[in-house]
Structure 1
Amino acid sequence: MKTPHRITLVRGDTVPKYNPETDSYEQVEGEAEEVACLVNFISQAKVFEAYGNRNEKVMICRFQQEQEPFQSATYEGSKYEPLDQIDAPIKGAVRLKKVGG
C-alpha cells in the first residue's frame, strides 16, 4: 500500500487541567508523532447515511501498521478526532471526523 500522506497523531492526556494557583484551566500538550498514511475522504451522502449529519467531514486514514490509541490527529492544518476503527484487512484503518473550524 502506498502511503503518500502524513498525519500527526496526538497521544496522551490532552484534557485541560485545573490549576488552583491561577484559578484557570491550562491546556495540556500530548505526545505528537508524525506517521505515514493514506487518506481518503468519505462523500457527504455516505456520511449522512452512516452518521445522520450533513455537515461533518469524515476521512478514512489507513496506516501501514496498527497504531496505538490516540486522542486526536492533525492533517493539513485541521484537527480530527477518531470516530471508530474499521474492520478491514488493514489493521491500521481508522475513521476520523473534523472538529472545529
Structure 2
Amino acid sequence: MKSELLDTDFNFLEKLVVGIGEVAEITGIPIRQIRYWEEKGIIESLSQEGKNRRYNYYNIKTILLIKEMLDEGYTLDAAAKKVKARLEMIENTLQKIKKK
C-alpha cells in the first residue's frame, strides 16, 4: 500500500509543470529574480514561449535550495554551485539504487 502511494506521489511530481508566476508564489521569489537566475544559467525552464516560462518539480526544488543557501549567507554563485553538486550526488545515488 505505501509503495502505491509513493508511486502516485512520484507520478504527480513528474507531471507537475507550472508557470513562472506560480513558481514565484510557491517559492516567495520575485519573477524578476527567477528570470535573472535563468539568464545567468543557474536554473533552466522547460520551455519559453515568449514570456511564458514553464518549470517542473526539479526546477522548483533547485530554486528553493538556492533560496535556502542565500538565506544562510552564501553568494548566488556559491549557492548555485553547492546546490548543483548536491543534486548531482543525489541523482547519482538514485541511479545506483535503480540498478540494484
Structure 1 length-normalised TM: 0.25
Normalized per residue, which structure has more strand? Answer: 1
Bigger RCO (CA 8 Å, 6+ sep): 1
TM-score normalised by length of structure 2 = 0.25
